Amino acid sequence: MEKLKRYRDLGPKAAREIMIQPNYFAAMMVQYGQADGLVTGAAETASSTLRPLIQLIKPLPNVSTISSCMMLDLRTNATASAG
């Protein structure tokens, strides 16, 4: 995390507090090539999912647009019908 200019002066305790949040940890893994993407749960808000991505993942050169995709299963009993 100390490599990212925005977070450089946080200190270890503050950085740890941020990185124990799963969406920030996952975004950091994507940024540094440890993961290709992330999937987050339906209990998350859009802002808690997108904020870490926007803050931590640097776009590729010449890329000015970011996007996301949301998929929902609206069946009332999705686990029972999945089997």
Site of tokens 């540094």: 32
Q: For residue 35, which amino acid is it?
A: A
The DSSP-derived string for 45-64 is -HHHHHHHHHHHPPPPTT--
pLDDT in tens, 11-47: 888 888 888 999 999 999 998 999 988 888 778 888 8
How far is the C-alpha of 45 from the C-alpha of 50, rounded, in Å? 9
Domain ranges (residues) in the chain: 5-81
For residue 74 the two structure tokens come to 């609206």
Mean pLDDT of 38-65: 84
In percent, how much of the chain has pLDDT > 70? Answer: 82
What is the pTM for the complete model shown?
0.69
